[in-house]
Amino acid sequence: MSTDDDGKRPYQPQPAGPLSAEAREAVYHTIHTRRDVRDQFLPTPLPDDLVRRLLEAAHAAPSVGFMQPWNFILIRDPEVRQRAWEAFSSANDEAAELFSDERQALYRSLKLEGIRKAPLSICVTCDKDRAGPVVLGRTHNPKMDVYSAVCAVQNLWLAARAEGVGIGWVSIFRDEDVRDILGIPDNIEIVAWLCVGYVDQLYQEPELALKGWRQRLSLDDLIFKDGWGRKGD
């Protein structure tokens, strides 16, 4: 039996073979049917044990230097969510003005009511100081802590899909507004505001593709070989 670096706690390596065909199919199905939910939330509260499972999935995400920089702020209070929606709505109006007339009309037609409709919001943050000033793996790329927190978001999102729960990632807000609403310290980075709730249906394709905003790119066009821009044979 092997031991870890301090020579005290034994650990036993686990088999590293592939999952069963059924399990593999379930993983890929979950990935490919995940959707960003903007408006289709049901008001039904989420059970505490389900929310715990989602957070445990997020907490199982990989992190550089095993620093685990994330925190999860659970927001259920309707007044807090209303304040967040007002902050979002103001920023959303500003964002709409950045698009041309035709594009702006399509932008404004997209329903973005998740903050008020979903029974739960989760604000995911990143504490860059959690593992101290020098972090294994972050020495030459200071963004690795935030990338790690985004992995936690993805884990949570996929677990939610498996549970029949929808997730909407709200990114249109002024950082200082959310920081003020939730009392987040200046040294903590806001990574994501997630709207979380049951849904009874999901789009077969990403909503923005179906509504003509943007189409999925060809994977073949995004693959290079042995260097930037090299397409190979």
Residue 61 covered by a domain: yes
pLDDT of residue 104: 85
pLDDT of residue 5: 56
Residue 48 covered by a domain: no
Residue 8 covered by a domain: no
Q: Which CATH number characterizes residue 155's domain?
A: 3.40.109.10
- Say yes or no to pLDDT of 1 above 50: no
Ranges of beta strands (E only) in the chain are 2-3, 10-11, 70-75, 120-127, 165-170, 188-198
Residue range 18-53, pLDDT digits in tens: 999 999 999 999 999 999 998 889 999 999 999 999
The more confidently predicted of residues 106 and 164 is 164
Q: Which of 109, 146, 111 is nearest to 125 (CA)?
A: 146
Mapped onto helix, strand or coil, the DSSP state of residue 179 is helix
Q: Is the dihedral of CA 42, 25, 152, 2 positive or negative?
A: positive
| Exposed/middle/buried for residue 137 (C-beta within 10 Å: 0-12, 13-18, 19+) | middle
Residue 230 covered by a domain: no
For 22-36, give one letter per residue: b (16+ CB within 10 A) or e. eeeeeeeeeeeebbb
Residue 99 covered by a domain: yes
Structural domain containing residue 71: 54-213
pTM for this predicted structure: 0.90
What is the count of structural domains for the chain? 1
Alpha-carbon gap, residue 128 to 48, rounded angstroms? 29
The token pair that represents 139 in the structure block = 């020495």
Going by DSSP bridges, is the β-strand pair 188-198/165-170 parallel, antiparallel, or unpaired?
antiparallel
Ranges of beta strands (E only) in 55-129 are 70-75, 120-127
Residue 64 covered by a domain: yes
Residue 43 covered by a domain: no
Residue range 6-23, pLDDT digits in tens: 556 667 888 889 999 999
> What percent of the chain is modeled with pLDDT above 90?
69
pLDDT band at 4 (very low <50, low <70, confident <90, very high): low
pLDDT band at 199 (very low <50, low <70, confident <90, very high): very high
Q: Which of 26, 183, 65, 192 is nearest to 125 (CA)?
A: 192
Alpha-carbon gap, residue 153 to 38, rounded angstroms? 17
Residue 189 covered by a domain: yes
Alpha-carbon gap, residue 194 to 118, rounded angstroms? 10
Q: Which residues contact 65 (CB under 8 A, 6 or more apart)?
A: 131, 135, 136, 137, 138, 144
